[in-house]
Amino acid sequence: MKKNTIRIKQPAFSNWLKTKRRELNLSNADLIRLAHGKLSARTIKTLEGGKITQFRESTFIELAKVLETPFEQFLKEVESINNNRFSNSHLSISFIIIVLFVFGFFLIENYDSYCEPFEFDIKEQGFHVLDVEGSLLFSRPFYLKKKSALIIDLNNDGKKEIVLGVHGYKTLRPAESGNTIAYSYKGEELWRFYPFKEIFYNDGGNSSRYRTSELTAGDFLKHNNKQLLLSYQEIGWFPSGLIMVNHNGEEQMRYQHPGHILKTVYEPKNNLIAFSAVNNHLKEKKLSNIYPNTFALFKADSISGQAPPYNGPGPKQGSQLWYMEVKPLGSKIKSINFTDYQADGKIDIEIGVDEQIYYIFDIKGKLLAKLPWDTYKGKAHTFVTHK
């Protein structure tokens, strides 16, 4: 059954509500108490926050009761706020009734079909999508991480979709693990994308069981709608990669990596993608269980090929602008940030390694600075760029 919603003009409505509450000498706590639990503290805070422009009709019915205002009169106040004018006390009663009827019918017929998803709640038993008032819209019994879930307007139609990157686990068949699935606000499945195509690296560790570990959204291709960058990992051992899909879930490009990609960062102004990763193929043979941390930078509209040292089939050169290994072995990349370090209007990259040591590079890979300069007494890091 559809849940009727009413749109309001913000921040005009929140200002009106605060004024009305003060006139009645009511605190937020009084509103909650008088509503007998039907209005939560969270709902009151959101109503007065001045940002959310859509609420359920049932919420306004309870609010009208608390404000000692007949619901028809409350709707009339909302109409006045939305039209940026005050009601005319000289209007005839019959005209007011007609306006209220037409306005109420318009609200119900035109706005009950969309209830905006606001946030998600991830628990062991599944994934729950909530509206702005904290009410459940729908649930799905998938295991996933917060970094692999997005609420986003994929096709710029004013309605938000929910995209989930599912983690694989024992109860899933290989063809189900690692799916990225898009849902409408009603919980209707719009599309699903499975990352596995074929075994790319032939040196073991391929179980065909994957997880989508991170989702990044942006208009990478400048098509005036959103694309999604999926960071996926093979669960058994090491392969991973990046896949870009369009708003319909269709693959646009793919980059293969011999080791898990750990973190992906998007810089929209210059349309850049960076990631940190572990590269299993750059390991030193005598240290079979230690693998180097690496960093790569891409133009977001060109993500293809494979990472060094190019042991997979197909093209031997990836599309990365540069690819860098951190030494000594065992060093960990902890953070990646885009910044204007030189204050010259150009983007630089700050890479945090181990315990709060930061290295600044320009977008061509030139080392500009190390922070802090003299206070760090630990091991010195070096960086090896791979062609």
**Cβ proximity of 229 and 266 under 8 Å:** yes
Q: What pLDDT is stored for residue 91 in this prediction?
A: 42
* Residues whose CB falls within 8 Å of the CB of residue 16, separated by 6 or more in sequence, listed in order: 77, 81
Give the whole-angstrom CA distance, residue 54 versus residue 64.
16
| pLDDT at res. 88 | 40
Short-list 264, 257, 319, CA closest to 292:
257
Position 229 scores a pLDDT of 96
Domain boundaries, the chain: 5-111, 118-386
User: Which H or E run contains 223?
Assistant: none
Sheet holding 251-257, edge to edge: 210-218, 227-234, 240-245, 251-257, 305-306
The one-letter amino acid code at 62 reads E
User: Comparing 5-111 with 118-386, is the CATH topology the same?
Assistant: no
Task: Say what the pLDDT of residue 100 is.
Answer: 52
Q: Tell me the CA distances in angstroms from 95 to 86, 89, 314, one per residue in order.
A: 15, 11, 74
CA atoms of 276 and 278, how far apart (whole Å): 7
Take residue 18 and report the two structure tokens written for it. 């605060």
State the fold for domain 5-111. 434 Repressor (Amino-terminal Domain) (1.10.260)
Give domain 118-386's CATH architecture: 8 Propeller (2.140)
Q: What is the DSSP letter of 380?
A: P
What single-letter DSSP state applies at residue 289?
T
Task: Check residue 219 and give its pLDDT.
Answer: 94
Per run of 10 residues, the mean pLDDT along the chain (length 387 residues) is 73 86 79 80 82 85 87 87 57 49 49 68 75 81 75 89 76 64 91 82 67 91 92 79 95 93 94 95 73 95 94 85 92 94 92 88 92 62 84
Structure confidence at residue 87 (pLDDT) = 38
